[in-house]
Amino acid sequence: MTDMRTAFAETAEDIVANDPLAAVVLADISTAMFEDAMLSFSDRLINVGIRESLMISVGGGLALTGMHPIMHSYAPFLIERAFEQIKLDLGHQDAAAVLVSIGASYDVPEAGRTHHGPGDVALIDTVPGFTVHVPGHASEVPTLLRDAVGRPHSSYIRLSEAINTVRLPVSSRLTVVRRGRGALVVAVGPMLDPVLDATEGMDVTVAYATTVRPFDSAGVRSLAATDTVVVVEPYLAGTSIRPIDEALADRPHRTLGLGVARTEVRRYGTAADHSRLYWLDRAGIRASLDRFLNRFLDRPPAYLESVGG
């Protein structure tokens, strides 16, 4: 099965080959994947070296001349290091570009905190007008990228190593994966697999989101039958609570945002280790859901008691 990064590189190369206004700007990351294209389209496959700020600004300058730039690196270098360039040279200049990251929150745990990007979506959410996509399967990447290139506003596509076994068609709306009478549980991108596992046997509705900005407010309103919504995101916990809260502003409701905690976990190990540490594996999500939905707020949920937690 193709990984998301390869799907991105192949699609981007094809877009550049067919759209004379498309360009890719890199900062040394993933250049090997574009070697052939760099020879064929040297004017539009630009590697600025290890200069992420310049990469974003060059994209902004390209867009101001009518081009359709794609910029790409690890999430913390693409979004956090060059954040003012994103805010001003794309946002404030009204220059549309597509940002595509790899590394996600902890795809390379052995590399440590410097390569972790759990805050990326929350940060991008402060820039007006960005569309944010979090694919859960490599098969979604070509469609998302093709739709994003040439849009009149900017987009952020957050790739990950984690891939769902379930493959769903790309939609900008919530896709219902399982219907129940209880809470609405929204799984974002690669969180669908663990959410489906964790909610096995629970009477809840599970919906899948690939597009989180704009968040599907109408979908939330129609699917939140009990006015109880849980959103499970593969980045900073609670990032999408705000749009969900706004969608339900006219009725009493309860929300829970699961995701990567606001803590500095000085651990290496594997991605599975980190999912466990952040309670984003099957057991952790189940425990959080039990606690929230069954209101076992004054004592540990049943699951934790059974394992002596």
Partner 1 sequence: MTARGAHEHHEVMELTYHDLPGLMTRMTGDEKHAPSATSTLDVLWVLYDRILHVTPSTVDDPDRDRFLLSKGHGPAAYYAVLAAKGYLPEPWLDDFGGISSRLGYHPDHKLIPGVEISSGSLGHGLPLGVGMVHGLRAQGRTSSRVFVLIGDAELDEGTNHEAIAYAGAIGLANLTAIVVDNQSSSHGWPGGVASRFDVNGWSTSTVDGRDHDQIAEALSRRPADRPHLVVAVVEPKDS
* Whole-angstrom distance, CA of residue 211 vs CA of residue 195: 17
In this complex, which beta carbon is closest to partner 1, that of residue 9 or of residue 62? Answer: 62
In this complex, which beta carbon is closest to partner 1, that of residue 11 or of residue 85? Answer: 85
Binding part of the chain for partner 1, among 66-74, 150-158, 198-206, 298-306 by CB under 8 A, reads 66-74
Q: b or e along 159-176 (b: 16 or more beta carbons within 10 Å of the residue's beta carbon)?
A: bbebbbeeeeebeeebbe
Is 84 a binder of partner 1 (CB under 8 A)? yes
* Position among 1, 40, 94, 262 found at the interface with partner 1 (CB under 8 A): 94
Q: In what order do the strands lie in the sheet with 228-236?
A: 175-178, 205-209, 184-188, 228-236, 254-260
Minimum gap (Å) between residue 94 Cβ and partner 1: 6
Is 93 a binder of partner 1 (CB under 8 A)? yes
In this complex, which beta carbon is closest to partner 1, that of residue 45 or of residue 232? Answer: 45
* Whole-angstrom distance, CA of residue 39 vs CA of residue 29: 17
Is 64 a binder of partner 1 (CB under 8 A)? yes
> How many of the chain's residues bind partner 1 (CB under 8 A)?
31
Is 75 a binder of partner 1 (CB under 8 A)? no
In this complex, which beta carbon is closest to partner 1, that of residue 85 or of residue 105? Answer: 85
The footprint of partner 1 on residues 22-41 (CB under 8 A) is: 23, 25
* Position among 15, 37, 44, 210 found at the interface with partner 1 (CB under 8 A): 44
**Across-strand partners of 176?**
207
Is 57 a binder of partner 1 (CB under 8 A)? yes
Which positions touch partner 1 (CB under 8 A)? 20-21, 23, 25, 43-44, 46, 48-49, 51, 53-54, 57-67, 69, 84-85, 88-89, 92-94
